[in-house]
Every structure is written in structure tokens, then in C-alpha cells.
Amino acid sequence: MTIARRAAWFAAICVFLTALAVASACATGKAWAQPYGGISAVNPKPEPSSPAAAAAPTAPAGAAALVRGRAIAPIDAPAAVKRTIAAANRIRTKPYVWGGGHGRWWDRGYDCSGAVSFALRGGGFLDSPLPSGPMERWGSSGPGRWITVYANAGHAYAVIAGLRWDTSGNSSGTGPRWHADMASSAGFLARHPPGY
């Protein structure tokens, strides 16, 4: 066999093996669909019962932990509370956008009630976003064991497993963020999902 024929044969084998590897990756769902860095090119739509939420790390019993801006659900939290925390974590770095989260669930940014609605939807507590005013009448009256929404006509925030979920600014910017410190609830009505 001549050198030219060997080179052609080697190139043909390389093309075949590459095609086989690509076909195998596509069949197993591991095709190269994401750009470098592993970040999806298209924002995924949130799912209220994500399997990733069930496998998320947990904090000790009683209250969520705040680690580098991300809430870690308490080990003894009900599954719906863990899903609520997981949903909030998905948008925890988005900017504040007035009206954000009301026209569609997955948005470029969120306002106060849009961010609270997104988190509550993750836990299965809402089917559609609510503005802050209607949140004054949502759910059951008073603070909840795991989730409390504080709302008035102009603002809404939530306390979820001991952490405040709010769009008020802090050192990491204005938008949906977790806060270890509590805000004054004066002038707000406390509401909670029944049983939570």
C-alpha cells in the first residue's frame, strides 16, 4: 500500500470514528449543545418540580444557610419549601426590572412581586404571578412555619426558611437576592401558603 493510500485510509477511519462518537453522544443526550463554560445558550424555562431540587445540598435542621449568595435548604424542610428555595436560587443574580416576572415566568429581570411569585411557583404555590397588592390577600393570614410573604400595595418580599427573599439593594446589587438580615414588617400584611 502506498503512502498516499495509507493516509487516505487513516483519514477515512478518523472521519468514521468522529461520526460514531457524535452519533453516540446524540443518542445518549450528551451532544455538544452548550457553549464553552457549560452555560446554556438559551435560558431554560423554570420547572416547579425540578429533579435537581431534590438532589440539592441541605443545611442543618431548622433554617436555611446562606452560602455565597445562594440559599441552602434545611434538611428538615418539606419538599415544596426546598423547591421554592431552588426556584429562587435560579434567579438570584437577575437585575431589578419593574414589571419583570409578570408577563412571563422566565424573564430578563424581576420586580419584587415577580421574584416572590417565581419562588412560590417553584414550590407549587402559584399558577400565575401576583402583583404586591393582591399578595395581601393570597394564601392564609399571618406568618407561616416555613414561608411568609410580606406584602402591601407597593412592595412584597418573603421570608423562606429563615432567609429574606427580596429585591431591595445590597452590596451585590438591586434585584432578587437572599438576605440573612430581616427587614421591618411594619406596614405589611403577613401571608403564608396553608400548612407551610
- Predicted confidence at residue 31, as pLDDT, reads 34
Q: Which domains does the chain have, with CATH numbers?
A: 51-192 (3.90.1720.10)
Higher-confidence residue of 136 and 58: namely: 136
- Decide if pLDDT at 133 tops 70: yes
- Decide if pLDDT at 17 tops 60: no
> Which band of pLDDT confidence, cut at 50, 70 and 90, is reported for residue 53?
very low
Compute the distance between CA of residue 26 and CA of residue 22 in angstroms, rounded to an integer: 6
- Decide if pLDDT at 33 tops 60: no
H or E stretch at 74: strand 70-74
Q: Which three cell numbers stand for residue 74?
A: 434545611
- Predicted confidence at residue 65, as pLDDT, reads 95
Q: Give the residues across from 189 on adjacent strands.
A: 151
- Predicted confidence at residue 76, as pLDDT, reads 95
Q: Which three cell numbers stand for residue 118?
A: 417565581
Higher-confidence residue of 186 and 47: namely: 186
Where are the alpha helices (H) located in 36-182, listed in sequence order? Answer: 51-54, 79-90, 112-122, 132-135
Phi, psi of 173 (to 5 degrees): 105, 180
The contacts of residue 147 (CB under 8 Å, 6+ apart) are 81, 84, 120, 123, 125, 158, 159, 160, 161, 192, 193, 196
What's this model's pTM, rounded to 2 decimal places?
0.69
- Predicted confidence at residue 146, as pLDDT, reads 97
Where are the alpha helices (H) located in the chain, listed in sequence order? Answer: 3-27, 51-54, 79-90, 112-122, 132-135
- Decide if pLDDT at 158 tops 60: yes
The radius of gyration computed from the CA coordinates of the chain, to the nearest angstrom, equals: 23
pLDDT digit string, tens, across residues 71-107 = 999 999 999 999 999 999 999 999 999 999 998 899 9
- Decide if pLDDT at 44 tops 90: no
% pLDDT > 70, the chain:
66
- Predicted confidence at residue 172, as pLDDT, reads 55
The closest alpha carbon to 66, from 162, 144, 188, 157, belongs to 162
- Decide if pLDDT at 180 tops 70: yes
Average predicted confidence (pLDDT) for the chain: 79
- Predicted confidence at residue 137, as pLDDT, reads 96
% pLDDT > 90, the chain:
63
